[in-house]
Chain A
Amino acid sequence: MKKYIIILWLMVLVLTAGCAKTETAGGQKTIRIAEQYGIAYAPVQIMKAQGLLEKNCPGIVISWEQMNNTAAIREAMVADRLDAGFMAIPPFLIGWDNGMDWKIATGLSSVPTGLVTKTSVNSLAELGEKDRIAVPQPGSVQHILLAMACDRDFGNPQKLDNQLVTLSHPDGMNALLSGGDVTAHFTATPYLEKELATPGFHQILSGNEAFGGEFSFIVGVTTKKLHDQNPEVYAAFNQSVGEAITFINDHPQEAAGILSEAYDLPEAEVLAYLTAADTEYSQTVKGIQTFSDFMLKTGYLKKSLENPGTIIWEQTDYED
């Protein structure tokens, strides 16, 4: 019998070892940041390229983690393998709703986003049962924006939910342009511009129309652990994002040069995206209350947000 107890113990050890935590950020000046690509994440790239964090917090050890989707970032933060990441407001709210200990540290960007369809479709109402709508994933900002528009137009936020197809931005673009069953794509810069430049496709809904105003497309989020146990690093992170944003706004030409190298895109194209009329880089967080009220009403959230201040770190600007 003793033998079997030992075996059982070993199994428990193996199971728990698999979930054991990596060295935490507490004490030392280290930060683990999710690195993402795209025009909406431009300040992150600038921050990295210009070594702003290193400058603002000498001696810091930064580990840039490649992440390609919001769910993965959230899971990495739950597993304590990541301290900071960038995402849209709805996925952040879903994490908060499920008890994740994190808050928004900074706004990052607002970029053009919208629903592109074939020119034969002129409004949401014209999307039939057979039409498939590609979104990055359910619960993404694109999905919530679409639900907001459906709520306003038809009084039914779930009207198009059964027609969603989950595709990454590039796959979604390919699916739309190839003329298959995907007839609509809710996407953002730069895929939005590429699709609109293709004959036969047009935008029937913009993000701002759906939302009913302006909102932060991407925000920066950090764990409570980083904020509480490593205030120096947290402050440097926030400051660096701010400096990167200021740099892009003040020196778009130079910023485009840096980004064109990182993204392997023509400089002129990047510059056009950076300086587009509805692209804005700002640390001010916009739209949290509207998103959270809508998601609560439609059942995507269970918790009610009394005051945006409770999910935003102090000293971070917000407006609603």
Chain B
Amino acid sequence: MKNVDVNPIIEICAVNKSYEGRPVLADINLAIRPGELICVIGASGCGKSTLLNLIGGFVKADRGEIRLNGRLVEKPCRQCIMVFQEFDQLFTWQTVRHNIEFPLKNAPERLSHQEIRSRADHYLAMVKLTDFGDYYPNQLSGGMKQRTALARALALSPQLLLMDEPFGSLDAQTKKELQETLLEIRQETRATTVFVTHDIREALYLADRIVVLKAGAVAAVIKNQTRNTDETRVAEITALLSP
């Protein structure tokens, strides 16, 4: 591996997690460097969402530890924001703009009114929703809702962005547009991202590295510098996933 000298932003060491005696994750080890976009891929039920929730601090590991910038993750925090698959993650009672401003208004560091507004404008533009700031979520399409959710997460400038199949419920065309937007945002913000998906092509298109999870264990970590979504590459990973 290159860049060994750079401290990892996330260190996952020998993490185990089981639900009601059934092991979900076994002995997971992973280090994520700043600016990386990691895709976690696996069949449903392989533990990829659990892994994301562990990183975010939403659930506790049975054994092992997770460190964010060297500090033990014990509960969810504002440096590590999750974007969900569900469209109803937006607050129905607030406009797109107010959804994005919401975490800023309730920030421990008091931001000025102007600061909040300009940040919201900035991220609205970034997700291409400048003209939709005054819309309520129920007036938006699925893709626009997920764009809003992304902007709301980015507005906090988190050190780590956790994305739990955010484009999983979108049609192919919209999904493609959002993937492009995500890559553009990455160019601009260099935000470290852990992106969970079960779509191999999505992973190949987005990721710097792909973590293949199989039956609760890391089956492979694949470097993906080429971003080549050829059928051969897809078949390669499919082979890794199949039992």
Chain A in direct contact with chain B (Cβ < 8 angstroms): no
Residues of B within 8 A of A (CB): none
